[in-house]
Amino acid sequence: MIEKKVSKLITFSLTAALLVWIFINTYADVCAADNRGYVVSNLNNFFSSAGLGYRFGIDDFVAAIRFLEYFALGILVSIIFRFYHKNILKFWTQPLFVGLLVPVCEGYYKFLKGAFPLVSIIVVSFVSFILGMVLCILITSFKRDRRSNLYNSRKYRRR
């Protein structure tokens, strides 16, 4: 019982921290001028010393950061909804609403700060959220199927 409360507390804390990170992250801003060029040049130097010929641009870096943020958010929201619903596929609209609400609110927040986020950024963020959610659902369904097969095989061996 205490383990479940601790896991809920950790998951809620991680989700809240990730949401705060999404809203204050300056690396994923569309119009922010900061030290992203420094990070990208160091990343390119690392890959060139490793012998890889691809050169990352700032847009690639921003897209990767946004994908990781919303992918992790999709996983965490799926875990939270699994705490309260055994079958998340019956209540699939609630996590999807949360997944669409977050990038829209982020876009509105950035709009209030003076940036003009594109609709394509919101759509890509939502798709990243869905991919994280699908991964979490697939993992839990495979884990559940494997347990049920083991139980059934043990059950019939005893007879």
Average pLDDT over residues 94-98: 85
Please name the residue ranges forming H helices in the chain: 2-24, 36-49, 58-84, 93-112, 119-157
- What is the rounded CA–CA span in Å between residue 123 and residue 137? 21
pLDDT band at 24 (very low <50, low <70, confident <90, very high): confident
Computed over every residue of the chain, the mean pLDDT equals: 79
Average pLDDT over residues 125-148: 81
Enter the pTM of the model.
0.72
